[in-house]
């Protein structure tokens, strides 16, 4: 079945079964705790938590969509037979409507009857200390005649949460064989049963708690490219009709891995640029620039068998425009040309420097990246044996270290909106604003500690955003604060301000720093070089309020800036307290 037919059949199948068909949401999510949209469920998060009502918004408790998705965590895997950065995810969702039986039965019928594909095996959750084994799903698969049912654990068949907290639950997966006989996971069916108080990492390390959701939900995801591979009996996704028009434009003689990387990155680039992302050195812009530079280097290195990248980008737009009218060829080509011109100037020198190095370390690799813009992948690829011990994690660590340094040094931000300071958490456009956000920043540390003093240690930071008007602080707590509690929190903060305590900084190796009991929080979108899990640098700064670290009122890992004494803050007032998600509260506070 060609990919257009698959898309149509999928949406028709679920529409006929009462699902409202919802268009893909943007690749740039509403949820500030995630960089890019990675799954179909993201736009529906609020229907699972109960903050919004699906019946009201879609006239149905169930929906189906084909979602543009982008996974930065898979960048290093691209080049094999089934990994991609950008992909399309087919999904059906239920918010308090049907649950396990219908979800499994629909998936089974769609794969075996509509697609007419044999299922190789399925998985169910084996159970953990907190969540029981999924006997119900096993029984349903058995009734449907599936013989090979495998049990898997938390790592494989437990979804979520996305971002810093959210709905999650056990899953069941469907595997089918591709043309080389390999089992490929095609469909992930999530049974959303819990609200998780922390991130996925926190959940896996036992630092987050699960509470049952009021509304049980279904969230399924099936990669269109993988399904096309199975249906079209190809050995890789790059031979399906979704990729062959792009692959055919690349030179015959080119290494096949490189071809796949170019096809994937060109497609991803076309989508990101069409959504208005611009290449830069942070967050989404950084991801985009990595893709762009990697393909530009390949184009440059392939001068003996030239292939114009512009043609590949245009082909990507052409192939997808019918389904995604937002794709804009003119924007894509214009932005591409600008980045290429900029990058080519330094690329040659960078490659020369790289060739001179006998051994590639995280430090000199980062230097090549910083001075010449050479992407990690290129250093690794061209470095060959000399880069054998260079890992993405060690490079990311180096990247992070430099980011901390530039934050603390209040480096001027170039281009963009002309901010004097933008650490991701604090924003100020001139010296005067900088003074105010600095006061608000120290006030935010006092606020977190005061909340812990008044409400207990369950309070932990979930996010923070400081502008010249206010600080906005998100934290874990499961109910609305009472007026007396808000008053008490203000009182605790203002007492500390009255005492005019010094605000001091120490730099410590990470292990020692953790032992001091200082609080730490790194947001999921904090700009790690791989977009994945954040790594701490070897040394971190702790800011503490008080005469000594031991007796400090507040201590936190932090890049600054802060006032030198609490008296400079002025009076702190809590302006608003509200819920942002189940188990997460938000406070807005101002300084007077
Ligand atoms: N959220 C799940 C996934 O992305 C199912 O849609 O795999």
**pLDDT value for 396:** 85
Residues 282 and 353 in one domain: yes
- Residue 14 within a domain: yes
Last residue of a domain, one of 347, 375, 407: 407
Residues 265 and 358 in one domain: yes
Confidence of residue 357 (pLDDT cuts 50, 70, 90): very high
Last residue of a domain, one of 190, 206, 239: 239
Lowest mean per-residue pLDDT among 104-118, 263-277, 459-473, 516-530: 516-530
Cα torsion angle, 270, 273, 279, 281, sign: negative
Residue-number span of the structural domain to which 144 is assigned? 3-239
CB 219 within 8 A of CB 91: yes
- Residue 317 within a domain: yes
Which atom of ligand 1 approaches the CA of 162 most closely? 1
Alpha-carbon span 376 to 382, nearest angstrom: 10
- Residue 421 within a domain: no
Which residue CA neighbors atom 6 of ligand 1 most closely? Answer: 221
Which residue CA neighbors atom 3 of ligand 1 most closely? Answer: 221
Average pLDDT value for the chain:
89
Residues 21 and 165 in one domain: yes
Tell me the residue length of the chain.
592
Residues 195 and 308 in one domain: no
Which residue CA neighbors atom 2 of ligand 1 most closely? Answer: 221
Residues 141 and 92 in one domain: yes
- Residue 426 within a domain: no
Give the chain's domain count.
3
What's the Cα-to-Cα distance from 245 to each of 75, 250, 320, rounded to whole Å?
Answer: 22, 10, 11
CB 169 within 8 A of CB 194: yes
Q: What is the pLDDT of residues 555-583, one digit of tens each?
A: 999 888 999 999 999 999 999 999 887 78
Q: What is the pLDDT of residues 385-420, one digit of tens each?
A: 999 999 988 998 888 777 665 444 333 332 333 667
What is the whole-number distance in angstroms between the Cα of residue 49 and the centre of ligand 1?
Answer: 17
**pLDDT (mean) for 14-38:** 90
- DSSP letter for 110, please: I
Best residue among 159, 170, 185, 200 to mutate for probing ligand 1, ranked by most atoms within 8 Å of CB: 159
What is the whole-number distance in angstroms between the Cα of residue 222 and the centre of ligand 1?
Answer: 8
Lowest mean per-residue pLDDT among 182-186, 252-256, 409-413, 483-487: 409-413
- Residue 422 within a domain: no
Is the beta carbon of 39 within 6 A of some atom in ligand 1?
yes
Last residue of a domain, one of 407, 441, 471: 407
Q: What is the pLDDT of residues 475-489, one digit of tens each?
A: 999 899 999 999 999
Confidence of residue 531 (pLDDT cuts 50, 70, 90): very low
**pLDDT value for 214:** 87
- Residue 123 within a domain: yes
Alpha-carbon span 464 to 520, nearest angstrom: 12
Residues 217 and 148 in one domain: yes
Is the beta carbon of 220 within 6 A of some atom in ligand 1?
yes
Share above pLDDT 70 across residues of the chain, in percent, rounded to a whole number = 94
Confidence of residue 295 (pLDDT cuts 50, 70, 90): very high
Backbone angles phi, psi at 364, to 5 degrees: -75, -25
**pLDDT value for 33:** 64
What is the whole-number distance in angstroms between the Cα of residue 142 and the centre of ligand 1?
Answer: 23
Widest CA span of the chain, in angstroms?
74
Two tokens, residue 188: 């992930």
- Residue 120 within a domain: yes
Q: What are the DSSP E strand ranges found in 111-165?
A: 121-125, 149-152, 158-159
> Of the candidates 370, 371, 392, 367, which has an alpha carbon nearest to the alpha carbon of residue 381?
392
- Residue 420 within a domain: no
Q: How far is CA 490 from the centre of its chain?
A: 34
Residues 466 and 383 in one domain: no
**pLDDT value for 430:** 76
| b/e code 116-145 from CB counts within 10 Å (16+ = b) | ebebbbbbbbbeeeebeebeebbebbeeee
Q: What is the CATH number of the domain that holds 15?
A: 3.30.930.10
Residues 230 and 315 in one domain: no
**pLDDT (mean) for 149-175:** 91
Residues 256 and 194 in one domain: no
Residues 145 and 284 in one domain: no
């Amino acid at each position: 079945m060609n990919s257009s037919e698959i898309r149509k059949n999928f949406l028709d199948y679920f529409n006929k079964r009462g699902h409202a068909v919802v268009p893909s949401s943007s690749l740039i999510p509403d949820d500030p705790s995630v960089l890019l949209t990675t799954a179909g469920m993201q736009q529906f998060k609020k229907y699972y938590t109960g903050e919004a009502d699906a019946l009201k918004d879609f006239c149905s408790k169930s929906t189906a969509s084909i979602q543009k998705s982008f996974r930065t965590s898979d960048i290093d895997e691209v080049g094999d037979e089934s990994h991609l950065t950008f992909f399309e995810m087919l999904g059906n969702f239920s918010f308090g409507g049907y649950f396990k039986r219908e979800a499994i039965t629909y998936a089974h019928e769609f794969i075996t009857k509509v697609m007419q594909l044999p299922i190789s095996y399925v998985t169910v959750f084996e159970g953990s200390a907190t969540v029981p084994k999924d006997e119900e799903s096993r029984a349903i698969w058995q009734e449907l005649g599936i013989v090979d049912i495998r049990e898997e654990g938390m790592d494989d068949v437990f979804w979520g949460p996305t971002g810093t907290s959210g709905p999650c639950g056990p899953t069941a997966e469907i595997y089918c064989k591709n043309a080389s006989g390999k089992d490929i996971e095609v469909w992930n069916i999530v049974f959303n049963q819990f609200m998780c108080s922390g991130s996925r990492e926190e959940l896996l390390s036992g630092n987050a708690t699960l509470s049952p959701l009021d509304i049980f939900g279904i969230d399924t995801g099936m990669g269109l490219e993988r399904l096309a591979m199975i249906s079209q009996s190809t050995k890789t996704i790059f031979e399906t009709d979704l990729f062959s028009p792009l692959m055919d434009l690349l030179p015959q003689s080119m290494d096949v891995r490189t071809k796949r990387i170019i096809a994937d990155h060109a497609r991803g680039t076309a989508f990101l640029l069409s959504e208005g992302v611009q290449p830069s050195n942070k967050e989404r812009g950084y991801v985009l620039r990595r893709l762009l530079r990697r393909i530009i280097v390949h184009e440059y290195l392939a001068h003996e068998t030239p292939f114009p990248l512009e043609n590949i980008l245009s082909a990507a737009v052409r192939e997808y425009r019918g389904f995604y009218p937002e794709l804009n060829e003119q924007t894509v080509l214009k932005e591409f040309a600008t980045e290429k011109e900029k990058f080519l100037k330094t690329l040659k020198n960078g490659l020369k420097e790289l060739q001179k190095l006998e051994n590639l370390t995280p430090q000199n690799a980062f230097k090549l990246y910083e001075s010449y813009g050479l992407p990690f992948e290129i250093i690794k690829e061209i470095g060959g044996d000399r880069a054998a011990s260079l890992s993405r994690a060690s490079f990311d660590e180096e990247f992070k270290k430099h980011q901390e340094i530039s934050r603390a040094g209040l480096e001027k931000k170039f281009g963009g909106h002309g901010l004097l300071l933008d650490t991701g958490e604090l924003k100020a456009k001139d010296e005067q604003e900088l003074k105010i956000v600095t006061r608000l920043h120290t006030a935010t540390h006092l606020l977190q500690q005061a909340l812990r003093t008044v409400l207990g240690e369950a309070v932990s930071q979930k996010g923070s955003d400081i502008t010249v008007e206010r600080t906005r602080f998100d934290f874990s707590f499961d109910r609305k604060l009472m007026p007396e509690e808000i008053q008490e929190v203000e009182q605790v903060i203002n007492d500390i301000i009255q005492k005019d305590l010094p605000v001091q900084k120490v730099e410590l190796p990470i292990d020692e720093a953790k032992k001091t009991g200082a609080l730490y929080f790194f947001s999921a979108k904090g700009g790690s070089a791989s977009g994945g899990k954040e790594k701490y640098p070897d040394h971190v700064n702790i800011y503490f309020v008080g005469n000594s670290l031991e007796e400090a009122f507040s201590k936190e890992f932090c890049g600054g800036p802060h006032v030198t004494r609490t008296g400079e803050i002025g009076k702190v007032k809590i302006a608003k307290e509200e819920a942002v998600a189940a188990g997460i509260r938000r406070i807005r506070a101002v300084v007077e």
